[in-house]
Amino acid sequence: MRISLLFLITLFGVSICGYAQNKQLLYDFTEIPQSININPGAEIDYQWFAGVPALSGVSFQAGSSGVSAYDLFANDGLDFNVKVRERLLNGMSTRDELSGTYQLELFNIGFRGKDQNIFYSMGIYHEGDAIGYWFQDYALLAIDGNADQLNRRFDLGDLKTRGEMMNVFHFGINKSIDRKLTLGVRAKVYSSIFDFNSTNNKGFFVTRPGSNNTFSSTLNADMRWRTSGINEIKRALDDGTLGNTIFKRGFFGGNLGVGIDLGFTYKFSNQTVLTGSLLDLGLIYHANDVENYTLVGDVTTEGVEVILPDALVNSNEDFWQNLVDDIEEIVPFENNFNSYITFRPTKLNASIRHNWGEPTLRAANCDCGPYATSSNRVEKFVNGVGAQLYMINRPRGPQTALTAFYMRRFGNFMAVKTTYTIDKFSYSNIGLGLNLQAGPVNLYLLADNLLAYRNIANTRYTSFQLGLNIISWGKN
């Protein structure tokens, strides 16, 4: 009964494992089974594993490269409008972003095949991801307006945002080619719940001295806002059927896509290891519940113009309405239902690690008692130090993070990894990961940007991950 309950929970349960987009603590932390999800070519030695629900909660990553909540909302007695002007309008650029990601592991298992060199893994996870860049010129128009700014072009391209929610179904194969090289590949099917994106806007709004009248106002717009699933979500909110709708769309009732992860581990020697992975090389085709909005055109106006004698031809002409109609015709705000494709934010990870110290004991060598079986455990050194590179494709180009890490193993029951990461969010990001192994039970807790915990409100980046797995190094 307990086994079947465990099995059911494992299959359909709510093992909550949250990941940041950059999972520098989890990457190459091969004691943790989820590390195979960010490097399908990781060198793993389990016979099988299964994610287990144990610790409920929400795991997430959120970052703001411009300001923190504390910068704006600290109870410091300063005029809020002054803070908005100094820290947002004057303090941020269009490369600053507000972004967030979460992943919720619904089901995750892995097992070694008959060929002991091949390890299969599969699962389902739920993911939400959104990013919005600081829309500087829109904010300036909204706070200051266009007065006394002749010839200043307000860039409509400052609107750059995207977001999505989906379920991901994945199946991976990890093969140990020889003692030096391990390769991995993971196929993914994306079931998009909703998507919105407006990332390729162009155009400007400018006020210049007019040729006839005092000012000429020009709107040059090439803007697109694409959505899928949003209308159905809105209807579900009205009908009180949000849960059902998300479930249905997340299980192949929305829009579908495919993708692939690739990864490798290469040992130059027992002590020097190179790894790399390319994740979410994929796309989603949106054809279900699509609605897009466009604003395209180029118009210049100097207000209502009445030039005699031409204006005398029709004395009842409504010049104002004609002007409005002309502008709406030249720069129409329209909607359409055309299908579209989005590319997933592809991630690149790489690391080089040097190990030293006493190798940990193989499980088969331990004092395990009369029921001990053979094991696949690979030799691991007590210490590891190295560097990692992370890149992700974002609407304003790739974002990069560099990490230095140190890993320490305490026998087979505990491993600790600490990281120092530099990226656009922080230059003082120190993270700590703890992995505990109690028999077959594996518990891990990874927390990022620990210095920020002195005042969480003042952090521009935070993430944490936790999870519980059952791992076996014995036979199937």
Partner 1 sequence: MRNHLQNFGIAILTLGMLMSCSEELDFKQFDDVEATPTYEASILYLEAPENIINLVNTADNVISQNFNFDAFSSNIFAKRVIEGTITYVVENTTSKELEINIEFLDDNGNVTDTELFVIPSAPTATIEREIAYGPSGQSIDIITTLSTIRVTARNLGDNTSQSNLSDPMITVKSSGKFRVRLK
Residues that bind partner 1 (CB under 8 A): 54-55, 57, 69-70, 72-75, 79-81, 84, 141-148, 207, 210, 212-217, 301-309, 312, 315, 318-321, 438, 441, 443, 445, 447, 453-458, 466, 468
Note whether 354 and 338 are within 8 A (CB).
no
**Closer of 148 and 238 to partner 1 (Cβ):** 148
**Closer of 201 and 301 to partner 1 (Cβ):** 301
User: From the CB of 198, what's the least distance to partner 1, in Å?
Assistant: 21
User: From the CB of 369, what's the least distance to partner 1, in Å?
Assistant: 18
User: From the CB of 138, what's the least distance to partner 1, in Å?
Assistant: 11
Whole-number Å distance between alpha carbons of 116 and 322: 77
**Closer of 12 and 319 to partner 1 (Cβ):** 319
- 236-270 burial: b if 16+ Cβ within 10 Å, else e: beeeeeeeebbebbbeebbbbbebbbbbbbbbeee
Dihedral angle at the C-alpha atoms of 135, 139, 145, 146, nearest 10 degrees?
-20
Whole-number Å distance between alpha carbons of 447 and 402: 17
User: From the CB of 322, what's the least distance to partner 1, in Å?
Assistant: 10
**Closer of 8 and 143 to partner 1 (Cβ):** 143
Q: How far is CA 232 from the centre of its chain?
A: 23
**Closer of 76 and 115 to partner 1 (Cβ):** 76
User: From the CB of 18, what's the least distance to partner 1, in Å?
Assistant: 13
Whole-number Å distance between alpha carbons of 160 and 53: 37
Note whether 160 and 201 are within 8 A (CB).
yes
What distances in angstroms separate CA 41 from CA 33, 122, 186, 308, 473, one per listed residue?
Answer: 12, 14, 9, 78, 18
**Can you tell me whether residue 354 is helix, strand or coil?**
strand
User: From the CB of 84, what's the least distance to partner 1, in Å?
Assistant: 6
**Closer of 29 and 169 to partner 1 (Cβ):** 29
**Closer of 310 and 367 to partner 1 (Cβ):** 310
**Closer of 321 and 335 to partner 1 (Cβ):** 321
Whole-number Å distance between alpha carbons of 93 and 81: 18
**Can you tell me whether residue 355 is helix, strand or coil?**
strand
Whole-number Å distance between alpha carbons of 56 and 38: 22
User: From the CB of 27, what's the least distance to partner 1, in Å?
Assistant: 21
User: From the CB of 116, what's the least distance to partner 1, in Å?
Assistant: 29
The H or E element that residue 186 is part of is: strand 181-198
User: From the CB of 302, what's the least distance to partner 1, in Å?
Assistant: 5
Cis peptide before 309, with omega less than 30 degrees from 0? yes
**Closer of 52 and 273 to partner 1 (Cβ):** 52
